[in-house]
Structure 1
């Protein structure tokens, strides 16, 4: 077995181990680590919500869509959802009305009621039903084409968007004058 003397490390190791400066350094290290750099305090559990709310107020808010230039992609998406919701509301509303008052909302009474309306009200009512129906139907076909992997480029998305708008306008006019 090699001794530290043979390697020439005997006296430096002894000095490092038994020197009083090392003991002073260890005491310094212990006192430094024992002290905390921040103060803590004990809070009740209900204070957590208040602290969280204060932190949320300091967070930056994400940009709202109004700061962006309007694009046909997000406008089409918003209107597709809106027209789908509106058409569903009309369908369920009429269905529930027919369920609770079948004598009032049957086909004969509805046709008689609409026949008695002025022409301007008829055309306005047709437009209010035809426009969302035409747009939602045609934009739905656009979405189906995307599901098949067609028109997925930026150019294709914009072309189909403008095509849906033009076809919706033509379809709405055609449905109004039927």
Structure 2
């Protein structure tokens, strides 16, 4: 008698990620990523305290395109974490739990974080 091969976890074949799941995971990942930004801030402040040469060296390093890409991602992470944190704050106050509002506020958090990131970088480029 042959044994039929059944999937071990059939729910994985039919499960579809929901926006709330993706945004929750993204909120946690951006929080972790922001911790790396805190370390970069400490390095930058240390370079300032060391004097002019150290400061100019770190500033030159920060102008590399790869580091600029990191800063862009860091600024998006900051704004997403902020916007989604405000969303969670509204939930803590008991607002926005119906499914329609949950989806709208999720997309609003994503959209506002993109707008705020682009606006910030547009203003930085204007200097």
What TM-score comes out, normalization by structure 1 length? 0.52
What TM-score comes out, normalization by structure 2 length? 0.71
Unaligned runs of 5+ in 2: 1-7
- Contact (CA 8 Å) 2:20, 2:106: kept in 1 or not? yes
- Contact (CA 8 Å) 1:114, 1:122: kept in 2 or not? no
Q: Highest Rg: 1 or 2?
A: 1
- Contact (CA 8 Å) 1:123, 1:176: kept in 2 or not? no
Change in 2 beyond 3 A, CA 1:85/1:115: same
Give the length in aligned residue pairs: 112
Task: Verify: 1:74 aligned to 2:21, yes or no.
Answer: yes
Q: Considering fraction of residues, name the structure with more helix.
A: 2
Q: 1:87 aligns with which of 5, 9, 34?
A: 34
Structure with greater contact order relative to length (CA < 8 Å, sep ≥ 6): 2
The CA RMSD over aligned residues, in Å, is: 2.9
Q: Measure, in 1, the Cα distance between the counterparts of 2:67 and 2:57.
A: 13
Unaligned runs of 5+ in 1: 1-59
1:59-79 residue CA offsets vs partner (Å, 9 max, x unmatched): x55844x74222110000000
Q: 1:141 aligns with which of 56, 76, 86?
A: 86
Task: Verify: 1:153 aligned to 2:95, yes or no.
Answer: no
